[in-house]
């Protein structure tokens, strides 16, 4: 019988794997390289599944001869060295579409919370302040331009949700044709064009060498003072030091952040500010999304264990 080791993580549901796989499913701490390697060897694991809390490198995978497949209950795989996995003969699979609805909705929620200053106003009322004049000046959203950084499924969901708000939507994604964007009522722009056009940039890009630090001081300098920055993609795409400086200078009104360069962002000066709405990388979460993510990865693990191809396997050139 095959053995599958799951990370001890609340996002993973061992029962789903036990129901769907003819395998011995074990749960272990996998949050450090030594623990990961020890668990694979101790159980003779054919498959390992995590939530992405560990860097999957050549050093991690080398010599783990029983390991055939690594699954991650996430969309993003920026923590995985796909070349190393291929070299070590390990199939990598994930759940590429499990939380599109949730993250798109969360992005809209962060945008609106920032534009209307909702969390800060709520705190003021709870503290005994009842005044519509407390806090910063608020501006009308209708007539503004929202700029989408990347135009995958989540960004397309955001564009669809924005249709009723009277805003223009532009997007930067070098891998998506303008005709595809036009089908969603979105205008294609270069990175520079988006930077100049957007009143409110919304980041949905994965973290790659090309996107790291993409949204930087030049972007914030180009925003109007009412501008809001939203990030539900990856923290490293936004230059957080530059964002902090822009907020301090008042050149950006607010930021809605579900992701940070370091998570949890214990030392980040962005957290706790009146002009930052922060959530703990939970834009993905719903009961339904958790079930779908586990089910998708479990199904692919099952395919690999019987010698078939994983439906959602990722090759190095695809990421």
* Burial class (CB within 10 angstroms; exposed 0-12, middle 13-18, buried 19+) of 60: buried
Q: What residues does 168 pair with on adjacent strands?
A: 145
Contact 140, 129 (CB under 8 A): no
Q: Strand locations in the chain, DSSP E? A: 2-7, 23-28, 47-50, 69-72, 91-94, 145-149, 168-172, 187-188, 200-203, 228-231, 254-257, 276-278
DSSP for 22-44 reads SEEEEEE--SSHHHHHHHHHHHT
CA distance 310 to 94: 10
- Residues catalogued as catalytic: 234, 263, 281
């Amino acid at each position: 019988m095959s053995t599958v080791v799951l990370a001890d993580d609340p996002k993973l549901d061992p029962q789903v794997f036990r129901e769907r796989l003819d395998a011995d499913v074990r749960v272990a701490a996998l949050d450090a390289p030594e623990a990961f390697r020890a668990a694979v060897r101790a159980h003779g694991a054919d498959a390992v599944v995590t939530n992405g809390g560990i860097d999957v490198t050549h050093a991690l995978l080398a010599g783990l001869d029983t390991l055939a497949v690594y699954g991650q209950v996430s969309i993003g795989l920026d923590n995985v060295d796909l070349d190393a996995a291929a070299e070590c003969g390990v199939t990598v699979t994930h759940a590429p579409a499990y939380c599109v609805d949730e993250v798109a909705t969360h992005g809209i929620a962060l945008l609106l919370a920032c534009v209307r200053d909702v969390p800060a106003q709520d705190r003021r009322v709870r503290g005994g302040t009842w005044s519509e004049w407390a806090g910063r000046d608020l501006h009308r959203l209708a007539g503004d331009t929202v700029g989408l950084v990347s135009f995958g499924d989540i960004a397309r969901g955001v564009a669809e949700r924005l249709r009723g708000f009277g805003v223009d939507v532009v997007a930067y994604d070098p891998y998506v044709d303008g005709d595809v964007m036009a089908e969603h009522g979105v205008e294609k722009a270069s990175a520079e064009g988006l930077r100049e056009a957007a009143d409110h940039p919304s980041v949905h890009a994965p973290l790659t060498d090309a996107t790291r630090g993409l949204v930087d001081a030049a972007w914030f300098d180009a925003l109007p003072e009412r501008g809001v920055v939203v990030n539900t993609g990856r923290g490293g795409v936004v230059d957080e030091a530059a964002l902090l400086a822009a907020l301090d200078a008042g050149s950006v009104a607010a930021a809605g952040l579900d992701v940070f360069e370091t998570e949890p962002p214990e030392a980040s000066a962005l957290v706790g500010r009146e002009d930052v709405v922060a959530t703990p990388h939970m834009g993905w979460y719903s009961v339904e999304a958790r079930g779908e993510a586990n089910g998708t990865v479990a199904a692919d693990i099952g395919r690999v264990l019987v010698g078939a191809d994983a439906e959602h396997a990722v090759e190095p050139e695809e990421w």
